[in-house]
Amino acid sequence: MSDKKRVSRRQFLNYTLTGVGGFMAAGMLAPMVRFAIDPVLQTKEGGEMHSVASVDEITNEPTRVEWTIDQVDAWYESEVQKTAWVYRNENDEIVALSPICTHLGCTVDWASNEEYPNQFYCPCHGGRYTKDGVNVKGTPPTAPLPVYEHKVEEGMLYLGEAQSRKGA
């Protein structure tokens, strides 16, 4: 056996120490790297859009559309029914309003009160909103109805999250 192929005690210790040290460093760094890039890897829960109605069905008159989503709470997953008032405005754009009254969360109805045939009406405390969802001054709500994000694909209307708006 030649001396060249022999691993000296010093070399052996060097190799093992470097190896073990490398593992330890990797063990510490890997989770840190994972934490650092975590926000990038996370999938966005709320960003989903749901197909709710066919576009040809939408008229100038607000109609109620319903769909269900899977909502994941901390402890359990549940099916939640969502509702929107959908219509076309004067510029032929589709508008989808959340029916949840900004006062205390009742469900508002379109033209359900005979005195206000062109407004959204909340049965709980008489809150009113004009057709574009803006709250009528002097009634309990202090903010307009939230608007759903929407997109149209292959003749179907897709709705996403409801965005709240600033008060009038």
Partner 1 sequence: MRWTEKDIKQYLPEKEYIDTLLIPMIPFDPASDQMMGKQAFQREINQIFTSLIEKEYKGRIFLAPEYYYISGAAETEVSRLNSWISQFRKQPFTHVFLLTFDAKWKKHEDELTGKLVWVPAIQSGNIQSTETQSFVKEQAGQISELIQAYW
Residues with Cβ within 8 Å of residue 88, at least 6 apart in sequence: 58, 59, 60, 94, 95
**CA neighbours closer than 13 Å in the CB half-sphere of residue 10:** 0
Phi and psi angles of residue 140, each rounded to the nearest 5 degrees, phi first: -55, -40
Q: Binding marks (x or -) toward partner 1, 103..142, rule CB under 8 A?
A: xxxxx--------------xxxx--------------x--
Looking at beta carbons only, is 48 or 66 nearer to partner 1?
A: 66
CB of 63 to partner 1, least distance (A): 17
CB of 72 to partner 1, least distance (A): 17
Measure the CA–CA gap between 166 and 168, rounded to whole angstroms: 7
Please tell me whether residue 97 binds partner 1 under the rule CB under 8 A: no
Q: Which residue has the tokens 């076309």?
A: 88
Looking at beta carbons only, is 140 or 160 nearer to partner 1?
A: 140
Looking at beta carbons only, is 100 or 157 nearer to partner 1?
A: 100
Residue pair 140/115 in contact (Cβ under 8 Å)? The answer is no
Residue pair 66/81 in contact (Cβ under 8 Å)? The answer is yes
CB of 148 to partner 1, least distance (A): 18
Looking at beta carbons only, is 51 or 113 nearer to partner 1?
A: 113
Residues in contact with partner 1, counted by CB under 8 A, come to a total of 11
Binding site for partner 1 (CB under 8 A): 101, 103-107, 122-125, 140
